Structure 1
Amino acid sequence: MVCNGYLRSVIVGAARVGILTRRKVQISHTQRSLHACVHVNCTWNCGFRRSLKMMVDSSGAAAKRRMIVDILPEKEDERGYVSGGWKSEDGKLSCGYSSFRGKRATMEDFFDIKTSTIDGQAVCMFGIFDGETYKQTDVDFLESERDTFRDDGSTASTAVLVGNHLYVANVGDSRTVLSKAGKAIPLSEDHKPNRSDERKRIENAGGVVMWAGTWRVGGVLAMSRAFGNRMLKQFVVAEPDIQDQEIDEEFDLLVLASDGLWDVVPNEDAIALAQTEEKPAAAAQKLAETAFARGSADNITCIVVRFCHGGDAGPVDRQPD
């Protein structure tokens, strides 16, 4: 049984790669934070410990770093979509991504995909970040803006696949949905202020939830958990919800996306749309295009992961170098 405490710190560390890169925090500071984040007092499978540590600790030895593959984005097409794809060497896994600024003046979404094989075990990390990511990250995020007048925030949904075990962590309203025989199964629940448990937590801390176009913390923030958001930090925590799921032959797709998709595309529609495309990259782009066509006013970023249990993940747009 995986130790929840260590798993929590691992996914936190994985998420930090995306957020701290996006926020352009100094590399040396990021390395120290990541290194500290993954050193916790919990004893369990050492191979798993090493593999995930190497994925999130950028201060590792060069030999270790060479074992990590970063799936880097393609160039934008003429419409502004950034998309691409990747397939594992054994053909059991393929993924695609698509990211689009949409109607926003700036692009604040960010995604990250990493894969590694450690001691014969495949380890993959997929992340969607909306802002600029879990407790220690929140501290660093706030520290980076301590002497500024900014009060930025971010959400994140990250999935770490270790062999056939999938671990998902979520803060905010980015979301991860799994397909089981074509049926949509949410692996995260949006942190909205009007959720009964979230409202109770906020009010117990002395905060208020009020309607201002939508339910908001203090009438300001439309989500109840996030990184940053310094002025509301007493009520808006960065503690992630974590779920784990064993992946068997009934599971075929995984969709991670920012709220630019989920605001206008329900879970069931997202899975149904992704199922219509053979290539995960084409599926991710179809999701982004559909969200934009349905009137999404936000940045839109999607990752689609396809599980092919027979070992043939089909064609893919691009292999990593």
Structure 2
Amino acid sequence: MVCIASLRSFIVRTGQLRRSSSSGRKSQIGCFRWDLDAKLRVNLPQKNYLRFSTIGTLMAASGTTLDTGAVSNTFPEKDCDEESEVGYASGGWKSEDARLSCGYSSFRGKRASMEDFFDIRNSTIDGQTVNLFGIFDGHGGSRAAEFLKEHLFENLLKHPEFLTDTKKAICETYKKTDTDFLDSESNTFRDDGSTASTAVLVGKRLYVANVGDSRTVISKAGKAIPLSDDHKPNRSDERKRIEDAGGVVMWAGTWRVGGVLAMSRAFGNRLLKQYVVAEPEIQEEEVGEDLDLLVLASDGLWDVVPNDDAISLARTEEESEAAARKLTETAFSRGSADNITCIVVRFHHYG
């Protein structure tokens, strides 16, 4: 989401954006060839037109234990032209049985700094295959979003009731991770926050949890169905919850909690914590033959690309990575002024 923040480290999910070396070393995974170089030079001031090399590695938990440090899958390295590097990354992954594939695309866009993070993990727990996908959109700084990328799924996989009561595990893990983050920042002057929109696939059960205004949408028989509802302060139930807690919702360019924050739920945001909670709303869905696509994205996409458009665009691409790239490119071309990050998951049903 758009907010004023100082220029900080540029990090994308599992890779850190680094200035391109003068040696002309080819960057690793992450640069995709959109031919946007000319567009970016037109839309961005020269001082903000920075070239970066990116490293992208899929951190995946594997095995029957909950050792989330184990890496079972890494995305292959890709070469790209140094001249095309403008602070974005992309990649893709397919399951061993070819029934699931995903692609990600993350782009700094017109913002001076990158505050979007994402996480993609797969694991086998007690013989059960688990896949986890998450989008974390920071505001007021990148630290909260980075903390979620590093700890949210790790904490969830360790929850003792993860397999037996997944909804309870997700809810408790969201709250615990929020508390952990606030504790870790207690001696700092920072007060940043982050959204979280996550999809957890346990066998054929899909659990989508959301805090903030990132969003998850599925394609069911070709129809776009949102599995999360943006947490905006002017939502009637959210306004009532905030006012019952003693807070106020004010108009300041848009509806804001206390005239400050343009979302009603978030991780972090210590000064507004009484009103801005990290309790997720969770929806559960059976993965049947008619569920073919899943799109998670930060509001840099949803601000300019409606749900129906996102699903229609993603369905035109056979490869999940290409679909994620197309969505990111479309959001940028439609004028998104924010960081743009999305994950596209495709379900392949084979009789």
TM category (shorter chain) comes to 0.7 to 0.9
The amino acid across from 1:111 in the alignment is F
Match of 2:287 among 244, 247, 252: 247
Match of 2:320 among 280, 289, 292: 280
Partner of 1:93: 100
Pairwise CA distance, 1:281: 0.3
SS of the residue aligned with 1:157? strand
Q: How does 1:166-315 map to 2 (within 5 A)?
A: 166-310=206-350
Pairwise CA distance, 1:143: 1.7
The amino acid across from 1:275 in the alignment is R
Structure 1 distance, partners of 2:13, 2:194, is 11
The amino acid across from 1:260 in the alignment is G
Say whether the 8 Å CA contact 2:218–2:293 is kept in structure 1.
yes
SS of the residue aligned with 1:125? strand
Pairwise CA distance, 1:118: 3.7
Match of 1:114 among 113, 121, 142: 121
Mean Cα displacement is larger for which, 127-136 or 171-180? 127-136
Pairwise CA distance, 1:117: 3.0
CA deviations on 1:93-136 (whole Å, 9 max, x unpaired) are 11000000001111110111111234443210001011224211
Could you say if the C-alpha distance between residues 70 and 161 of structure 1 is closer, same or farther in structure 2, counting changes exceeding 3 Å? farther
Q: Which runs of 5+ in 1 are unaligned?
A: 1-17, 23-53, 312-321
The amino acid across from 1:199 in the alignment is R
Q: Which runs of 5+ in 2 are unaligned?
A: 1-10, 16-59, 139-144, 149-173
Could you say if the C-alpha distance between residues 176 and 160 of structure 1 is closer, same or farther in structure 2, counting changes exceeding 3 Å? same
TM-score, with structure 1 as normaliser:
0.75
Match of 1:163 among 191, 198, 203: 203
Match of 1:137 among 177, 196, 206: 177
Pairwise CA distance, 1:80: 3.2
Alignment of 1:125 onto 2:132: yes
- Pick 1 or 2: higher relative contact order, CA cutoff 8 A, min separation 6: 1
Say whether the 8 Å CA contact 1:167–1:244 is kept in structure 2.
yes
Structure 1 distance, partners of 2:180, 2:290, is 40
Match of 1:150 among 190, 201, 205: 190
Q: How many residues align?
A: 260
Structure 2 distance, partners of 1:297, 1:94, is 29
Could you say if the C-alpha distance between residues 19 and 279 of structure 1 is closer, same or farther in structure 2, counting changes exceeding 3 Å? closer
Pairwise CA distance, 1:66: 4.4
Could you say if the C-alpha distance between residues 20 and 276 of structure 1 is closer, same or farther in structure 2, counting changes exceeding 3 Å? closer
Structure 2 distance, partners of 1:225, 1:301, is 20
TM-score, with structure 2 as normaliser:
0.69
Say whether the 8 Å CA contact 1:80–1:100 is kept in structure 2.
yes
Pairwise CA distance, 1:150: 1.3
CA deviations on 1:59-81 (whole Å, 9 max, x unpaired) are 955xx854754658968753433
CA deviations on 1:151-192 (whole Å, 9 max, x unpaired) are 100000111111111011110011100000110011100000
